[in-house]
Homo-oligomer: A and B are copies of this chain.
Amino acid sequence: MKKSIVLIVSSLLGGFALFAQENVRVDTASNPNLRSPEVTAEGKVAFRIHAPQANKVSISGNLLRDQKFGLSEDAETVPSHLDLINNDGIWTITLEGVKPDLYSYNLIIDGEETVDRNNAFVARDVKNVSNVLLVPGEASAFFAPRDVPHGAVQSVWYKSGFNGKERRMTVYLPAGYDESDKRYPVLYLLHGMGGDETAWSELGRAVQILDNMTAEGLIEPMIVVMPNGNIAREAAPGFDSRAFEQPEFHLEHTMDGTFETWFGDIISYVNDRYRTLDGPGEQAIAGLSMGGFHSLYISLSKPETFGYVGLFSAATIPSDSNEIYRNRPDKLKNIFDKTSPLMYIAVGKDDFIYSHTQELRRELDSLGLPYIYNESGGGHEWTNWRQYLIDFLPRLFRK
C-alpha cells in the first residue's frame, strides 16, 4: 500500500502533495526548505533564509535581548535587529548565548517585516504575526508538550449580563477529570490588554505548564479558567461576529469596572458546568498586566471568594472611574479580615509598571497586610509572566 501511494505521489503530482490539504509548497532549488531555526548547541540558534535578490536581511524580536552582537562587551543596549550574512543567496546568522525560553521573532527583508517561511510555528500577538521558537533548557522545561497525561482544553461560551451576548473563554480540565467524580479547585487566569481568551494557552504555554507540573506532582490538579477581559469583543479575532475584521486595540470598557462587575457570570457558569470546589481555599484569581488589575479588584469586590490572588506585572494604577476601584485600603483590610488570602505580587525591575507595584506594596505594608513579593529582572513580557505562573501554581490550594 505504501508503495502504491508513493508511486501515485510521484506519477500524479510530482511529489509531496497527495491527499494533502491545499497549497503545499514544493521544495525546489529556487525555493528550498531550509532548516530554520536550528538549535545547534546549547544557546546556539541558526537562522537561514533563501533571498538571492535581497539587499539586506535582518532578524528582530525578543530573542535578541541577550545579544551584544557587534556591540561592545559592556553595551547596555538591546539591538532592535541584527543583520544576516549573504552566502550565495542564502542568508544566515547564528546567535549564541540564547537563554532557554520561548521567543518570538520576525525576519526583515529589505526593510519589510515578514516571517521565517521555513518555520511553520507562528503566533499572532494583537495584530502581528511572528514566528515562535523554543530554546530548550531548565527555564523552558515546562513549555513543550511531553508524553504525560494531558488535560482537556475547551472553548466555551457563557452569557454575559453586561449586554446579553455570549462571550468565549478557555477552560482547562486536568488529566483524569473524566475518570472520577472528584471535585477540583479553580484558578481564574486573566490576560493583558490586547490579549484574549487564547493568550495564556498560546504564548503563555499555560496548558503545557499545567500538564507537565501536574504530572510531576508539583501542583494540585486544578481547573483553570481563561476568560476574555476585553469587553469590546466577545471572543478572539476570528471567533466572534466581527469575523475576519483585522484586530485592533479596543480600549472601551477594558478598565472601567465592566469586566469586574460582570465577573460573577463567569464564576456561576463554571460552578454550574464543572465539578468545582468553591470555597475561598479552593478558588484563586491571577492575571498579567491589565489582568492583574482586574484580579485585584475582582478579589476585593468579592471578599469571601478567593483565597489566592496573583498579580503579575499588574497594572495597579489608582483609579476612581468606578466604585469598584475606590477606597482600596478599606477593601484590602476587608478581604484580609474575611479570607486572609495568599497575595502574590511579581514584577520585573525594568517594567514600566514597576512604580505602581511599589505603591501597592507600600499600601499593604502600611496596613500591615502580608504578601509574597517576587522581583525579577526584565520588563513587561511573557518571559516573566510564564515564570511567575510557574512560581505561583505550586503555592495554590495547599494552605
* Interface, chain A (partner B; CB < 8 A): 1-2, 4-6, 8, 12-13, 16-25, 30-31, 33, 35, 49-55, 61-62, 104, 109-115, 117-122, 124-130, 132-134, 144-147, 149-150, 152-157, 165-166, 168, 175, 178, 192-195, 199, 203, 234-235, 237-241, 243-244, 246-247, 249, 251-252, 254-256, 272-273, 289-290, 315, 317, 319-322, 325, 352, 380-382
> Which of these, B6, B128, B273, contacts A23 with CB under 8 Å?
B128
What is the CA–CA distance of A289 and B225 in the complex, to the nearest angstrom? Answer: 37
What is the CA–CA distance of A115 and B127 in the complex, to the nearest angstrom? Answer: 13
A125:B53 contact, CB within 8 angstroms: no
Given A22-B125, A53-B112, 8 more contacts at CB 8 Å? A2-B256, A21-B195, A24-B125, A24-B128, A31-B113, A145-B241, A147-B166, A150-B166
B21:A194 contact, CB within 8 angstroms: yes
- Nearest residue (CB) in B for A135 is B244
A115:B113 contact, CB within 8 angstroms: no
- Nearest residue (CB) in B for A239 is B145
- Nearest residue (CB) in B for A273 is B178
List 11 A-B residue pairs with CB atoms under 8 Å apart, sorted by A's residue number.
A5-B317, A20-B126, A20-B195, A22-B203, A25-B127, A110-B110, A120-B237, A121-B237, A133-B244, A149-B166, A152-B156
What is the CA–CA distance of A205 and B70 in the complex, to the nearest angstrom? Answer: 48
Residues of B near A273 (CB, < 8 A) are: 178
